[in-house]
Chain A
Amino acid sequence: MRTIHGTAAAALVALAAGAVLGGCAAVKASDRGYLADPIMERQDHFSKQSLEQKFFSSREGSIGGAAGIGGGCGCAK
């Protein structure tokens, strides 16, 4: 339990640190062309990743840590 709570706390600290760092980064919108390239996989509304995650969640004991919704199975449990 201690490990889990420690990890949760570390994750929250990292999120907060990232938010603070955000104030330091100053990349202009006009300089973000590379970041919008499709191969950066930034636009994952319904990407293949969701089906891959569905497979992993049906075969492995840990899920979560990635955005997305779901439930049920539809897999060979």
Chain B
Amino acid sequence: MSSPPKDFDRPRFLPAFTALFFVFLFAPIALVALFSFNSTRSLQNFQGFSLQWYERFFDNESLRESLIASIEIAFVTMVVSTVLGTMLAFGLVRARTRWAGSANVLMLIPLVTPEIVAAVSALILFTQIGWRLSLETIMIAHITFSISYVTVVVRARLAAVNPEVEQAALDLGATRWGTLRLVTIPELWPAILAAGLLVFALSFDDFVISFFTTGESPQPLPVRIYSAIRFGVTPTINAIGTLMLAVSAVLIGLAIALPRLLGRRESGLGVLVGREAA
């Protein structure tokens, strides 16, 4: 805010508390990253830089397959749920039926359902219809929850689009398809992009739903991490964790930077933060 900070409601402990909070927030993650480069197995003393835990990860063929499986799942989820979610957003914003209210509520339910409930439901569904658990079942389960995220993000943007601009395009002789392609979609593009990257990150990181809907092999990376942690703490997990951290960081960076490069300030981070607070 523009008003200068007053000391009145700034107790001295606040800055210190906030600083401590950030240490608490980042220290564990930083330590995981640091010890992934340790030259020995120790998780207590850092004894020199080495990449051996990363080598061990990439030498392990089944872990490599898991990484590829995770990327495949996240990619398919991103593409399918972005298309479906954007279409749903159009329906919710533009269609003026008496069902719009209920459809809105239905759309939000996946966002507030505990993951384990969604996971169990998906597992029971797939078993009942006799669909063998595999990468496809994970993809379908991921797409189901991802659509809502895309819709929430895109809908907010779509509601802000001035319908008169589209009206003007139609008056000037553009076809409906031409208007959509040349006027509406360019306007929505940053939101669609941010939603797609967000969904990619959510799917790539998802554990609970993957855990319940995965087949024998290859299993997505988070499921492998989970089994590995249960057998004890090893530096290889540090390396996998750090790799996943790097993927997430790149995705967030893209989600923030790309809309800006396209010349819009308001999307990107705002979209992501808004989604968490929604």
A, B in one complex:
no
Which residues of B line the A interface, CB within 8 A? Answer: none
Question: Which residues of chain A have a CB within 8 Å of any CB of chain B?
Answer: none
